[in-house]
Amino acid sequence: MTFPPSPVLARFSRRARAFLSRATPIHVERDRDVLSARLTALGRREWPAALDFQRDLAGLGWPSNVLGIELRPIEADPDDPLARALEESMVPIGSVEGDGDATAYINEAGEVFSSFGPRSSSIVTYIEQAAMWAECAAESHPRFAVFLRPALGEALAAALSLSGSFVPEASDVYEQWWANGRLRLRHRAYDEICARQDVVTTASLADACHVLARAHGVSPGLFVHVGAAPTTYLQLSPGEAAEVPDERSWRGTRYSFGNESGAAHGSVWVVGEGEDMRVHEYIKHEGALHTWITIDSAGATSRHLPSPPWQREFQC
């Protein structure tokens, strides 16, 4: 017998079925009566959607996620209204894909939430979206990701000629996906942390820079960040930091780094062309240069500058 059961697997796309086949099965309680009694004893809701999820899909784990109802008391945080509302009105179902240590919750309607807000309209869509993201992460190195805020969604998809490559099974009111052979676009359409942003992944630096140019053509005021793997991290000495080039010496296209409300700010420069193309990110904090990242066709080099004296005093 396969796990999940074959009738459940039939609800997923081929991509998600392959993704689930690689998940690690973990033993969980599936008996509805036992679960209902335990949830009631804990003061939690015994939603049919939660019990159906536990029967069909709980017990699956992969590196960034574990699925299964957490049979623990309500942990209401008086200083966090969102966390308190989730704990008191929903059922926790494990860690959440792509949100670090956040908890995933399911509500009466079967929607999936994280500690940061709504995620997916159903557990099936949530897994489809996780499968899409896992496919991005599984690409051979090097790989590149372009983060854009505020999000453009359909307008960016059209600018990148992706309108005909919409992925319906991984898309809902909260998150939409487009994908062709070169680009994958994820549009998060909800609020809270890490939301209202687009991320485009690709295996080519030239394609990543193409995304920047197209996005800038749609909305020149975007804030951007370019990530790459593999990444080499360096801590510069004071002498090395003194030799960091002045960004004003570069000849290329400049974009604004960061997001609308973040403390870090700076600039992203696309310089050179062809095999000599590279991207520089100058990340500043309180006006001082903090990190200089260079991305070329092989990956990224992230150089952290020495901390100023006032900052070193608070470091452990």
Amino acid at 84: R
Q: Are 132 and 186 in contact (CB under 8 A)?
A: yes
Helix (H, G, I), strand (E, B), or coil: what is residue 24? Answer: strand
Q: What is the pLDDT of residue 62?
A: 78
- According to CATH, what is the number of the domain 6-131? 3.40.1580
Cβ 46 vs Cβ 33: under 8 Å: no
- Domain spans in the chain, listed from the N-terminal domain onward: 6-131, 139-312
Could you read off the pLDDT of 219-228 as tens digits, one per residue? 999 999 999 9
Q: What is the pLDDT of residue 313?
A: 43
Distance CA 149, CA 158 (A): 17
On whether the CB atoms of residues 202 and 270 are closer than 8 A, the answer is no
- Nearest Cα to Cα of residue 208 among 270, 133, 140: 270
The Cα 166–Cα 135 span in angstroms is 16
Long-range (24+ apart) CB contacts under 8 A made by 97-103 are: 97/64, 97/65, 97/126, 97/129, 97/130, 97/133, 98/64, 98/130, 98/133, 99/194, 103/70
Q: Burial-class residue 171 by CB neighbours within 10 Å (0-12, 13-18, 19+).
A: buried
Spans in the chain with pLDDT lower than 50: 309-316
Q: 159: closest CA among 222, 98, 204? A: 222
Q: How many CB atoms lie within 10 A of CB 72?
A: 10
**Span 102-158, pLDDT tens digits:** 889 999 999 999 877 888 999 999 999 989 988 887 766 789 999 999 899 999 999
